[in-house]
Structure 1
Amino acid sequence: MMKRSFPAFATPGVLMCALVLIGCSGDSEADKKVHTPASFQVCGQFLGTENVRRAVDAVDGGDANATARNSPGRLAAALTLEAEKWSVDDVLYHPYSACRLDIPAEGGGGYVIDAQAKWSALTVDSMRKPKYAKSWRQVNDKVFVELETGQPIVRLLVACGVPGAAPEQAEELPLQMMIRDPGLAVEQRQALLSTFARTLVDELACTGDPVVPARLLR
Structure 2
Amino acid sequence: MRSLTGFSWCGALAMLALSTGCSNGQSLSEKYPTQWKTCNALFGAENMESLQAVIDSGDLKFSNSALSVDQLMKGLTREAIDPYDEIRGFKEYETCGLSGNGRFTAMARWAADSLKSVQTNTERWQRATADVYVADPSSVGGDVDLVFRCAIKGASGQAQVLLEARVSAPNSPRVSEAFHKQLAVKLARTLRDELSCTNEPDIPDRLDVDG
The TM-score range, normalised by the shorter chain, is: 0.7 to 0.9
Match of 1:164 in 2: 154
Corresponding position: 1:139 with 2:135: no
Cα separation, 1, equivalents of 2:81 and 2:23: 36
Please say if residues 6 and 63 of structure 1, whose CA atoms lie closer than 8 Å, have aligned partners that are also in contact: no
TM normalised by structure 2 equals 0.76
The answer for the alignment partner of 1:81 in structure 2 is 78
CA contact (8 A) 2:21 2:57 kept: no
Flag the 1:78–1:166 CA change in 2: closer, same or farther, 3 A.
same
State the 1:72 CA deviation.
Answer: 2.1
Overall identity of the aligned pairs, in %? 25
State the partner residue of 1:47.
Answer: 43
Q: Helix, strand or coil: the match of 1:5?
A: helix
What is the identity, as a one-letter code, of the residue corresponding to 1:40? W
Q: 4+ runs of 1 displaced by more than 3 Å? A: 1-4, 7-12, 59-63, 86-91
Indicate the residue corresponding to 1:200 in structure 2: 191
Kindly provide the CA deviation profile for residues 47-86 of structure 1, in whole angstroms up to 9, marking residues without a partner as x: 1111112122234744521246222222111100011014
Q: What residue is the counterpart of 1:15 in the other structure?
A: none
Structure 2 gap ranges (5+): 1-6
Q: State whether structure 2 residue 97 is matched by structure 1 residue 100.
A: yes
Aligned 8 A contact 1:7 1:64 in 2: no
Pairwise CA RMSD: 3.0
Query: Structure 1: which 5+ runs fail to align?
Result: 13-18, 22-35, 106-110
Q: Matched residues in 1 for 2:170 and 2:135: separation? A: 17
Q: CA deviation at 1:147?
A: 3.5
The 5-angstrom pairing of residues 119-158 of structure 1 reads 119-129=110-120, 132-149=121-138, 151-158=141-148
What is the TM-score normalised by the length of structure 1? Answer: 0.74
Shift, 1:133, TM fit: 0.9
The letter of the residue matching 2:150 is C
SS at match of 2:94: strand
Please give the secondary structure, in 2, of the residue aligned with 1:6: helix
Using the alignment, how far apart are the partners of 1:38 and 1:93 within structure 2? 23
* 3-state SS of paired residue (1:149): helix
Q: Deviations over 1:183-216 (max 9, x none)?
A: 1211111111011011111111001110211211
Q: Which residue of 2 aligns with 1:5?
A: 17
**Given that residues 145 and 156 in structure 1 are in contact (C-alpha distance below 8 angstroms), is that contact kept between their aligned partners in structure 2?**
yes
Cα distance change, pair 68–8 in 1 and its aligned pair in 2 (3 A): farther
